[in-house]
Structure 1
């Protein structure tokens, strides 16, 4: 009897290990499959961290038993190394220094979530805007890239644009993706502020699909840095557009409520549309980057995880500053899951990546990301 139990348990573990290995490989492959056709693989990619942990556990389990089945997990982990590498930062011994290295270009990207406007319905809210402006000043960045940047119209003294300009950022390019251009009380979009003169600008609008609100634009500015021209892009790719009810649905799914099937359908439908839209937007961004004649930096809220088609498509052969200098998993979105790194700074190989940091501040639903870059010596 005891022998039967041992044999059955071992075979069950082998089957489970094989299933997990297969799902892990599919989650890795999704990085190269366009989500407009292979959206289910993209959904599976969200489970990449869990699958990775389970594979590592199986590897340790088989090694402890000195079993040949350890080879299965080891081989699969080796095949998924490219995905693991962009998921996990290994520079635990490095620390971010507030002082910029000599000749460095400091870039900050942050989805500021309209500053205080999203909190106005909360009667107990604090004045986050003041804290956010003070934080931005403290970082002493040369280039600021913002998503969900709100301006309440030129006639209002409560101007976020003026507040940033007064921090010694006299040059900026801000576009209105939502709101009225002339005299409107509500103007929101992406923005880039610079301490270097902006010599040229460009904007790309993403097409709206299926009556779903489009993402914020892709914008770029050309600046002269130490006598050399570089281009900085920022963008905010398609959001899943979760509402409060969707977050409640996620809780229903987690708690296995009776209405879990209905909740799951609602969530999956929105995720499917979001993945497809971001896939096409990533193609647009990649084409712009590849045609850029200058060393470029692209940053922003991609609304997708590192093992996604969106990330790998935009990244190409560019440097992910988190991979180069970061540690841990680099979570940048505060809601839903602790594994969501969806805000990025990707730099042309013409730059040396000197420093990286992500600041765990509570004033937006995204954490700001900062990097120090330097044009490599020719």
Structure 2
């Protein structure tokens, strides 16, 4: 009996060691794959999706890969395994990208009051003031949005998906914002007699020269205006880049994890990935079209809008160039500007030339659109 117990214990111990070895081997394989994918994701901003598409998907996954890498590194540190060093190197190699997603600010207290002498810019995709996914449920949000603008008190307002129609005719928006008496509109079509949908800039300061680009085979566009602020002329670019075209049904499908149980999940998932891939390419082409104008050497430049792409994307890099990302300077913690796709993506931005200093950055979270507004206070540097 004693021998049977002894042999049984040895057999159980042997099985346990085998299970642990298999688990370690699988964990090691996953760790190496995560580290490799993370390192490759750092190249995503430099690779045109039109040339190699899968880098764009790695770029979108970069923050999740980084977190997974850190968790796995800590696990292997506790196990005293050398693979922890590989994971640490992968994480440290991308440390410079971290402030694109998260900016720690311990022990600081912020005020929403404007500092004297600063220029406050608000960028907001207002989703047509109704929202295309839930027109009947949400109702007209124009009055709520104009009240928010008055409360926020920006000097310059840049709006995307700005829509004028029979419900919200010309003049209604302006009547609610009498202080912002200068405006520039750039719609999808030149004929605006019945209204239109596109981009808008409203300003407390005079707007002079203006222009825009309507992107081919797309409903998206970019516009620019010159604002005369005190004695300075500031070039402002307002952009709405190609949408992901992942609609509400797609978001519910992914968010509800139906992909794991749906018998047609493979086809549906492939369709969503196809949408994302196509629009990665379209946005990259649009970014190339406008980047040459943005980075033509004009001083005192502000670039804002809904880019529909993450900070680890080709679009972000081309649009930003050598400009400063206001979030990376004065952001607080993680900031997410898009409510869809799990509400974890920052795809709305404000960049500026080094003529400006970022004084404050924040993103409020009102419920009137599928995007959140970006609000930035800037100050011209003394030369």
* TM, length-normalised to structure 1: 0.91
Q: Which residue number corresponds to residue 186 of structure 2? A: 175
Q: Mind listing any 5+ residue stretches in structure 2 that lack a counterpart?
A: 1-13
1:120–1:11 Cα change, 3 Å: closer
Q: Which residue number corresponds to residue 321 of structure 2? A: 316
Between stretches 311-320 and 111-120, larger displacement belongs to: 111-120
Q: Where in structure 2 are the equivalents of 1:62-101 lying within 5 Å? A: 62-101=76-115
Q: Which residue number corresponds to residue 128 of structure 1? A: 141
Measured against aligned partners, the alpha-carbon deviations of 1:211-231 in whole angstroms (never above 9, x if no partner) come to xxx142211111122311111
1:189 pairs with 2:198: yes
1:298 pairs with 2:308: no
Which of residues 225, 228, 245 in structure 2 aligns to 1:224?
228
Q: Which residue number corresponds to residue 371 of structure 1? A: 376
Q: Where in structure 2 are the equivalents of 1:199-238 lying within 5 Å? A: 199-208=208-217, 214-238=218-242
SS in 1 for 2:160: strand
1:244–1:273 Cα change, 3 Å: same
1:177–1:94 Cα change, 3 Å: farther
Distance 1:193 1:106 in 2: 12
Q: Where in structure 2 are the equivalents of 1:246-325 lying within 5 Å? A: 246-250=250-254, 251=256, 253-325=258-330
Which of residues 240, 244, 247 in structure 1 aligns to 2:244?
240
Q: Which residue number corresponds to residue 7 of structure 2? A: none
Deviation at 1:292, TM superposition (A): 4.3
Structure holding more helix per residue: 2
1:149 pairs with 2:168: no
Distance 1:69 1:312 in 2: 32
1:40–1:163 Cα change, 3 Å: farther
Does the CA-based 8 Å contact 2:364-2:374 persist in structure 1?
yes
Deviation at 1:366, TM superposition (A): 0.5
Q: Which residue number corresponds to residue 10 of structure 2? A: none
Does the CA-based 8 Å contact 2:183-2:203 persist in structure 1?
yes
Q: Which residue number corresponds to residue 49 of structure 1? A: 63
Deviation at 1:114, TM superposition (A): 0.7
SS in 2 for 1:191: strand
1:68–1:120 Cα change, 3 Å: closer
Does the CA-based 8 Å contact 2:299-2:353 persist in structure 1?
no
1:17 pairs with 2:22: no
Deviation at 1:156, TM superposition (A): 6.7
* TM, length-normalised to structure 2: 0.89
Q: Which residue number corresponds to residue 211 of structure 1? A: none
Deviation at 1:149, TM superposition (A): 0.3
Does the CA-based 8 Å contact 1:190-1:216 persist in structure 2?
no
Q: Mind listing any 5+ residue stretches in structure 1 that lack a counterpart?
A: 209-213
Note the aligned Cα RMSD (angstroms). Answer: 2.2
SS in 1 for 2:279: helix
Distance 2:131 2:77 in 1: 54
SS in 1 for 2:151: helix
Figure out how many residues of one structure are paired with residues of the other and give that number: 368
